[in-house]
A and B are shown apart, each in its own frame.
Chain A
Amino acid sequence: MLRSSAVGWWWRPFTEVAEAAVFLIDLAPDAAHEARALEWLSVTERARSRRFVHAGPRRRFTLCRGALRAILCHRLGCDSQRLTFGTSSHGKPFARVDDMPEPISFNVSHGRSHGLIAVAPRGRLGVDIEERRAREDLEDLADAVLGPNEKREFGLLRGDARTQFFFRMWTLKEALMKALGLGFSLDPAEFEVPIAVRRGATTGTFRFPDRPRVLWRVDDLGTEDFAAALALEPIPDRCGSSDG
């Protein structure tokens, strides 16, 4: 297990959604935090960290991976050395302890200043966080990722409301795509965020049009500081039934 120290932690509990716990990661420059995180990383992860061309992305990777290791080790009751990661065919990582796959689900996302880590004992999940900012290419991006109804609603908005709507849709869609494990091999314009959520509800349910058996839960986790979302696969009840 990873022990606390004078360095302190750079993550804290952010929220809980059903069985999922979501942690907020502070990605501000902090040499002590980065050095501590680096100690926990595997040889492969350190090499990955060194490959980053710029200091900012290197720091974010290191702090997020260090926090992920600490959170998973705490939950799995293991040392960081016993924890390794495998990846699915679409690159989604899963945890192994002593080379044995663990059912625990997790997902990581980061913006410039903040990261989110979502963890659940089982079931697929995806999380996304983006710090909102004006972009010159917002129209192009909206054209690439929004569905027809979403584009129409986006087109009715102006100024800051337009940016807010876009980043909200983006994080909800990316969380769903990450939960499914396909990332951007899926075309985000081919599905739409549920209408109630588009109109402001903070939670809703969703089915991918070409994969209708699974009813996903989606939650808007956005704050004044960032847009963020979580997508969760429902957990079957004791009788084994679910919408999945």
Chain B
Amino acid sequence: MATTAERVRQLVADNLEVDGQPVAVPADLSVSLTDVGVPSMDFVAFAKVLVREFDVPLTPDDCAGFSSLKDLAAYIDAQAA
């Protein structure tokens, strides 16, 4: 079964794009959504996707606050524990 980090990476690939191109996320998820250049409207949409996927409380501001996607995945794991 895919780990949370792998699922987050897949959700980014499936739901986000920058300037019409796929988002480049390193395998270790060391970048944040802000580093990727996700605009505020996509933050809102992506937060909804994450809530739907993982059933955890998550606002767009929360998403913007994580310093990396790895931290976001760790937060989701902690909420689910």
Q: Which residue numbers of A lie inside 8 Å of B, CB to CB? A: 51-54, 56-58, 60, 111-112, 130, 135, 137, 140-141, 144-145, 170, 174, 183-185
Contact = CB atoms under 8 A, between A and B. Distances in A.
Contacts of B24: 53-54
B37 A54 contact: yes
Contact of B37 (A56, A135, A137, A174): A56
Nearest to A60: B37
B45 A140 contact: yes
Nearest to A187: B59
Contacts, number: 55
Nearest to A178: B40
Given A53-B24, A141-B45, A183-B61, A112 B40 contact: no
Contacts of A140: 45, 48
A184 B37 contact: no
Interface string B17-58: 011010111000001000111011101110010000000000
A53 B35 contact: yes
B22 to A, nearest CB: 10
B68 to A, nearest CB: 11
A57 B42 CA distance: 14
Contact of B19 (A51, A56, A170, A174): A56
A135 B39 CA distance: 14
Contacts of A111: 39
Contacts of A135: 45
Contact of B21 (A54, A60, A170, A184): A54
**Which 8 residue pairs across A and B have the least CB separation, nearest first?**
A57-B37, A184-B60, A56-B19, A185-B61, A184-B61, A54-B18, A51-B35, A137-B45
Interface of B: 18-19, 21, 23-25, 31, 35-37, 39-41, 43-45, 48, 59-61, 64
Nearest to B31: A53
A58 B35 CA distance: 9
Contacts of B40: 174, 184
Contacts of A130: 39, 41
A145 B40 CA distance: 12
Contacts of B64: 184
Nearest to A51: B35
A231 B4 CA distance: 39
A170 B25 CA distance: 28
Nearest to B26: A53
Contacts of A112: 19
B48 A144 contact: yes
A184 B43 contact: yes
A54 B48 contact: no
A57 B43 contact: no
A175 B9 CA distance: 31
9 contacts: A52-B37, A54-B19, A54-B37, A56-B37, A130-B39, A137-B45, A141-B45, A144-B45, A184-B40
